A and B are shown apart, each in its own frame.
Chain A
């Protein structure tokens, strides 16, 4: 049976420290920001947004929402539109993969993605002198002019499979495979696992009443489940409503 990897993110536990974003950048050889980069031209495969209940101080309450590629399972919007098969959905894992070395850089997939989880290399990647020594050998850095995004740390998936094979276990579903952000979250807010495996923690958590997915009605069947006991936080899953302090988006 094929795996269907997914995540549950407990918004009530996230204090927006950003460990996941840094760990992701470290793991996937994402370069530091170019001098001209801003929050709309950056490379943040996982990005923590600060959301609020739209009220004014002191009724205002905030929460932090990490958003990464939602790994849509149904008619994956980006994979559907890529003109040259640079995006594919791996049937073995359900992970939406991106092949930067085949990408034309037309950014059609970015326009197609409702979660803005895809990022374009606006500049040549550059690291401070000497820092390239710290690059992760299991991930190839990307060149300028291509799109990239979260792939649940594909490199880690490979290594985990090799380890599993070495230990004589079934390589199909390595037990110790977790993406960097999951490993890094100090609050343990992000959980990762196989949604098809009914015994897994994510399978349970995803079915809880407090769990929800972003823009579920679009019918793209994302595999990232968010979790919060606060009612106003649950409303972030729905379509935007104009007005109400929308001008505040930090993060």
Chain B
């Protein structure tokens, strides 16, 4: 029985029940690994990608997943750098989510390149002008950082604390965690950006190409802001989901409100920036390169509705909901707004990747369509299953929500000042 691994004083379901919960995910993971193995062994001909759709499902999902995982760095930034202590309640969970998203993305990346064994060439012959180099460097570094940030959470496990060295190392590492948080912030700032730059620099693809500031196209900055906006939203959703599934109170009521406020604020900034960027692109960038803006949206099925959905329906609306204290306070509104925000950013990543490749560039090109093969879908499902499994284990054996223990019963509110009431009662 795994009882002695579970933190003292928190309730967890029985081992059997836990296994029952794991089984479907494990099966899904197995299936996913099988399809990934097919791709690795037989080659990328197992996918439905082709010379024209050089990138497929995976790039879209990688970008989305990494955007959602941005909660890790942004929460860390707010907590350790800006010292917003309320976020202690979710930082561990955020770190796990970040770790899952990033490691998952990197694995999918490895599956979807032609020669994975040569991945290290990127470090060996880096082309510093390439956004992909920036992405590779930053993601690999940040993944390391996340792993290190994950370490204390693991070492805090009731059983591992019995080992003196682990106990002490956890203690000491935790004191220095803010350094890692700082580095992590720096790194993710850059790779979220360069993921945006990835497409923004494609001067051969006027649909994606954007003029920029200094080295980077505007998408660089848009991606950073949107990631920062959607990260907290995603934490909000996951926390709520975990609370529902585990039927427990995990965070103090003020925490979701705070996350929602942060998310709303960033989202508002993003929507504003995105609107300006779109206008500049439609009226200057694209026409200058011989491509009239309107023609992008006359290819079925990508009409102007997609632009509207991206900026207004899934951008402006959730931003306003999250910004208004009254709506924000209401869980239903808060959560649906968060979900919408996530969808909006996902849609943005989809447009940047898939639509860009689908639109013709030569006048005698057709409009390209593409459906992922089951191997590609399987590979993605593997990441999802992997994420759920890692999170479930972490939630069961580690303290992802430090407030959980205190929240078992409503502890009397503490007043912080320590003044002498009376000297000498006797």
Contacts and interface: CB of A to CB of B under 8 A. Distances in A.
A75 B78 CA distance: 39
Contact of A110 (B44, B54, B127, B295): B54
Contact-residue bracket for chain B: 35 or more
B305 interface: no
A103 B115 CA distance: 8
Given A118-B51, A246-B366, A249-B366, A41 B45 contact: yes
Contact of A114 (B131, B292, B361): B361
Contacts of A124: 43
Interface in B240-298: 288-292, 295, 298
B114 A144 contact: yes
A82 B118 CA distance: 14
B363 A241 contact: yes
Given A41-B50, A85-B127, A104 B122 contact: yes
B281 to A, nearest CB: 15
Interface string A89-128: 0000000000000111111101111111011111110000
B426 interface: no
Given A104-B121, A123-B43, A246-B367, A239 B291 contact: yes
Nearest to A88: B127
A199 interface: no
Given A102-B121, A102-B125, A107-B54, A239 B44 contact: no
Interface centre among B43, B51, B118, B206 (most CB of A within 10 A): B51
A145 B55 contact: no
A220 B205 CA distance: 12
Contacts of A217: 288-290
B201 interface: yes
A147 B201 CA distance: 20
A146 B115 contact: yes
Contacts of B201: 80-81
A235 B45 CA distance: 35
A162 interface: no
Interface of A: 34, 36, 38, 40-42, 49, 51, 65, 67, 75, 77, 80-86, 102-108, 110-116, 118-124, 143-147, 214-220, 235-243, 246-247, 249
Interface of B: 43-45, 49-55, 113-115, 118-119, 121-122, 124-127, 129-133, 136, 198-199, 201-206, 288-292, 295, 298-299, 356-357, 360-367
Given A108-B198, A215-B290, 6 more contacts: A80-B129, A84-B121, A84-B122, A84-B127, A103-B115, A112-B203
